[in-house]
């Protein structure tokens, strides 16, 4: 029996174990977990387009000195809907989904995040609880900046406020467009939209057509707000029409033009 006790999820992991019982896989895991995370000053993640990129070096330095980071295994929860926000998360590496719990435990994916994205800022800014649960879609490295430091940085940087406004505006726009999509489109149109969203968010593998994310059918169903069975049927149908092909948990796009058309058949 191996005992792993995580003492505090927001500071560095503190793990108690017996060395003698470490397996090869655990050692591999630790090696993977042990990567170098640069300071905010040197972080090249969002190519100057990220939320915090507008900050002067001194502020980035301040954030770096006060941030902490953690490794999240695929499937691990980063924060829970209903919990109080006490900082923002910055996704250094990995992929994250934001899910909201609906009725009868049915989940709905409301947003996707990739490297360089900021999570949990909305709840923090409106001093609210998290409105969704963040789950790692892939092994991820995520930095955490405390509430105090972040709010202090906003106060001293009007440009940051403006960046936040831009980000919120764009999220709001997407959310409202989403609403129309989900209420007025068929399952097929919604599944097609979900595939396009995955592609535009996570990009492709080196072949240039396989979407760079492994998602199971029930997760795609959660994106398109339908049942797993309907998602399976619809994906098969799209495959038979030659628009996509299904390679295990990967989706390959073959006919982007037709796929885009199939998102708005009767507009």
Binding site for its own copies (CB under 8 A): 100, 102-104, 106, 108, 110, 122, 125-126, 128, 131-132, 154-155, 158, 161-162, 164-166, 168-173, 175-180, 182-185, 225, 264, 266-267
Spatial CB neighbours of 19, under 8 Å, sequence gap ≥ 6: none
Answer yes or no whether residue 249 interacts with DNA by CB under 7 A.
yes
Q: Name the strand (E) or helix (H) holding 135.
A: strand 133-136
Which residue's entry shows tokens 């997760």? 219
Specify the residue, 37 or 243, whose C-beta has the smaller distance to DNA. 243
**Beta strand residue intervals within the chain, DSSP E:** 67-72, 77-79, 87-93, 96-101, 107-113, 118-119, 133-136, 140-146, 244-247, 250-253
Closest C-alpha among 160, 208, 50 to residue 116: 50
Specify the residue, 102 or 203, whose C-beta has the smaller distance to its own copies. 102
Span interacting with DNA, options 86-94, 119-127, 170-178, 225-233, rule CB under 7 A: 225-233
Segment 170-189, which members bind DNA (CB under 7 A)? 186-188
Say which entry of its own copies, DNA, none residue 144 contacts (CB below 5 to 8 A, set by partner kind): none
Name the residues that contact DNA, by CB under 7 A: 186-188, 216-218, 226-230, 232-233, 235-236, 246, 248-249
């Amino acid at each position: 029996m191996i005992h792993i006790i995580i003492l505090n999820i927001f500071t560095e992991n503190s793990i108690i174990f017996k060395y003698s019982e470490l397996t090869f896989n655990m050692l591999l895991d630790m090696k993977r977990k042990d990567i170098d995370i640069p300071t905010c000053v040197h972080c090249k993640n969002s190519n100057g387009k990220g939320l915090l990129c507008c900050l002067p070096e001194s502020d980035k330095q301040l954030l770096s000195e006060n941030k902490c980071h953690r490794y999240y295994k695929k499937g691990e929860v980063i924060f829970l809907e209903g919990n109080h926000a006490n900082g923002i998360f910055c996704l250094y590496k990995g992929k994250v989904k934001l899910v909201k719990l609906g009725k009868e435990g049915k989940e709905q994916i409301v947003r996707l995040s990739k490297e360089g994205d900021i999570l949990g800022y909305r709840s923090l800014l409106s001093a609210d609880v998290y409105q969704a649960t963040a789950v790692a879609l892939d092994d991820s490295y995520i930095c955490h900046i405390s509430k105090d430091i972040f709010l202090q940085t906003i106060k001293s940087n009007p440009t940051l406020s403006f960046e936040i406004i831009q980000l919120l505006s764009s999220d709001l726009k997407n959310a409202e467009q989403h609403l129309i999509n989900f209420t007025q489109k068929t399952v097929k149109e919604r599944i097609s939209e979900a595939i396009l969203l995955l592609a535009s968010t996570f990009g492709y593998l080196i072949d240039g057509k396989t979407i760079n994310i492994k998602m199971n059918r029930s997760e795609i169903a959660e994106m398109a707000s339908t049942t797993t069975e309907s998602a399976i049927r619809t994906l098969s149908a799209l495959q038979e029409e030659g628009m996509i092909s299904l390679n295990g948990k990967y989706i390959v796009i073959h006919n982007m033009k037709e796929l885009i058309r199939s998102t708005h058949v009767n507009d």
